[in-house]
Structure 1
Amino acid sequence: MSKPSEWTVRDAYMTLRAALSNAVREEVLSRNVAANVRMPMPRKRKVKPWSVEEARAFLESARTREDPMYPAYVLVLVLGLRLGEALGLRWEDVDLTNTEMTIGWQLQRVAGKLLHRQTKTDASDATLPFPEIVTVALRARQRAHDEARKAAGDSWQETGLVFTTASGRPIEPSNFRRSFAGACDKAKVRKVHVHATRKTCASLLVALDVHPRVAMQILRHSQISVTMNIYSEVSSEETRKALKRLGDRLES
């Protein structure tokens, strides 16, 4: 039998403590004996973000395989969007002409219900500029979206979302996580959780030669000095060129 993790032990303790507290309120017990027990907080494992080369290999693999979720992968990696923000993005919030988008909605499953609701974070209603690789990916997504709607005919369900199923319905976050994990395997890169991709975003912007002022907006930094600290790390010329070639085939 494997040894339980620190988090499993702590979860069991918190459940027991809550149950005993309830028993005290109901006057079944006179006191909560677990209240005097001090449980150490388990240290969270630090997730090592992808290197620029790992991210490039992942995106290159997804693009080459024509993975339908490639544009979403670009958004979470290059713009640092959270999973819910990417899946909740609406076409009306994307301006391909001026290459910017407004982040104000998210898609989340809460208490068994799939909800499309406004964000409640500092990124709410943030307008993000985006580099060429995002423009190319979103134009490809737009074409795929139009083709899917035409093929679905009367069964199409209009939601206004950028990323949908073949019938226009929202994409389940859990399904996207599985697709992302599968894409990691196919690309033969180290498997990370989707939320860990945000830490790779800054490095990719440097490698893509995105102007520091633009990167400052994307990364949501309040001071340019913070952004410039990141720009002191320079990627190899080979990696830069490879990243810039990513969208070429999708444009043809």
Structure 2
Amino acid sequence: MPDLLDPRVDFVFKRIFGSEENKDVLLAFLNRTFAESGEPPLTEIVLLNPYTDKDAPLDKQSIFDIWAKTDEGKLINVEMQLFNKYDIEKRTLFYWSKRYSSQLQEGQAYTELKKCVTINILDYSFIKNDRYHNVFHLREDHTGIELSDDIEVHFLELSKLNDRSVPVEGGLVNWLLFLKGADKSKWEVLQMNEPTLKKAMDTLEFLSQDREARRRYEERQKYLHDEASMIEWATRKGRVEGKAEGEKKKAEEIARNMLAMGMEVSVISKVSGLTEAEVQSLQTNP
């Protein structure tokens, strides 16, 4: 049997968790995530952008986040991040705010706004503690009084898991070990702890044997690694060259290369040393 595809690659992740036929897999994963923050289980979800075979890994129009809605109207966004593109906290708040504000149509009252939850699954460490699951809300500093329950942000950091140990009971960590790529010899225990994981595993095995899925996977992996290499190269080059006076043209060249790769303006600004306005100007006047 061919090597298994990496379930962390975004389009594979969305095929496993964000397709209509695997909606029960997503529901089980979400309930384990929310259980760790003391929330009641969900009974039903609606996928707002389900995976289809028309989703192309290199198509910039494809959205590999998972957007779902509960039967009470709560909005949930799940995103997998393989590489640190920096400013993840600002990026999270920016897209959270867009989802939150987009709920209101003209003339509607603010009371129509429903809670929005963002779940970031990171393949790198971000929060400065040892917890693999951190949850953020909007609360008063001294008393802990909650201002509003409408914002909730989860960070699940796979890098903080010890992949050599397998839990002896059900819970979120079983799902995260599967995503991290736990050795297949441990799958039996993981799915005994979390029975719905078997369907996720079966889907991954099916995709791994499908020639077209593997071709698309390899294309996506190449793109992601090229993007990561470009960030690393541009960061090093930008830091060295940015020290010299009169290097703006080189910074603009770096920015143009990164724009051509479809990278975000905020990341390009940080790497190149240009302001976001200068980067946007290059975008409109290449």
Query: Which of the pair is proportionally richer in helix?
Result: 1
**TM more than 0.5:** no
**Structure of larger gyration radius:** 1
Q: TM-score range by the shorter chain?
A: under 0.3
Normalized against structure 2, the TM-score is what? Answer: 0.20
> Taking CA–CA contacts closer than 8 Å with sequence separation of 6 or more, which of the two structures ends up with the larger relative contact order?
1
